[in-house]
Structure 1
């Protein structure tokens, strides 16, 4: 009994000292954003559309989601047993914060299947980091008039010139002469 009483006294004294120490020293707290639970984002539109037939050459794949997305969260690849178009590594999230665009090249007489969020880690996710559902976009490319410019690919995808799939690097700072 005496040992319990002594242990309790020591514990209370230590807690009091810790409280006094906390009061004397300010504690820095970083801001935290807590996002409410959200449903998984869903693909609402694509270019090419599911099953669409398009011309070969330069292609801008466009994927629109039903909610605002994280610009740094994405993954895409070839669906099993299919070809993937040749694409740059990183898609760009447009100003609406719901639509990603990806610059690619496609060849004639092919069927492509692009899997979005097919890998278990990472992937397209909303601002609360809730991942989008897996989606497979399938389209065919036939012989036709070759799309040879990004401007032509933008037009085919229904995009504007400011919706370029690759952002320009910032201009270097100009230093004044000494």
Structure 2
């Protein structure tokens, strides 16, 4: 074969192998040690703000069972929250974990309050790890104080939910799934 015919063939082979290498460089590997997993990047958001609460600031409520309700202006993370006693107020006796309702903006917390006292709660006393939106932006710190009267106590969860303006499906505690459904066991 003459060198005249060999040179165009070498140029063609070089061009084809360079194009193949270029295509491989642009296609990320699907798996293996250099695999790239997808990343969800949310746009920056403003810190969530407390829109409303029950009890409202300085409201007077009945003693006994109380459902603390706080509503934010954005969808919130169900696993990010913290609350602490407010300065110069009695700490409330509450279950540990608030429940995020289906609207994804409202938390409810089951508590008990005594008559003739002033209670207070600070939401996001520590912003890190506190109430946050879906983009992990923590809510602004908010302080809520209210007074408890000496009237007849609220003794049922149903009455406490009615006072907070909650529907039957918005209970502050959820039933655990039946053991057989949770474990997959059958009887």
CA RMSD of aligned residues (A): 1.9
Q: Distance in 2 between matches of 1:155 and 1:23?
A: 57
Residue 24 of structure 1, CA deviation: 10
Cα deviation digits, residues 125-172 of structure 1 (max 9, x gap): 000000000000110001012100110100000001100101111112
> Which of 93, 100, 105 pairs up with 2:100?
93
Count of residues paired in the alignment: 157
> Which of 47, 50, 69 pairs up with 1:43?
50
TM-score normalised per structure 1: 0.82
> Which of 74, 80, 83 pairs up with 1:67?
74
Q: Distance in 1 between matches of 2:143 and 2:31?
A: 55
Q: Distance in 2 between matches of 1:137 and 1:122?
A: 19
Q: Distance in 1 between matches of 2:134 and 2:155?
A: 35
Q: Is the 8 A contact 2:81 2:130 kept in 1?
A: yes
- Partner of residue 80, structure 1: 87
Q: Distance in 2 between matches of 1:165 and 1:36?
A: 31
Over 3 Å counting, the alpha-carbon distance change for 1:23 and 1:91 in structure 2 is closer
Gaps of 5+ in 1: 1-18
Single out whichever of 25-34 and 144-153 deviates more from structure 2. Answer: 25-34
Q: Distance in 2 between matches of 1:24 and 1:63?
A: 45
Q: Is the 8 A contact 2:128 2:138 kept in 1?
A: no
Q: Please identify the structure whose Cα radius of gyration is greater.
A: 2
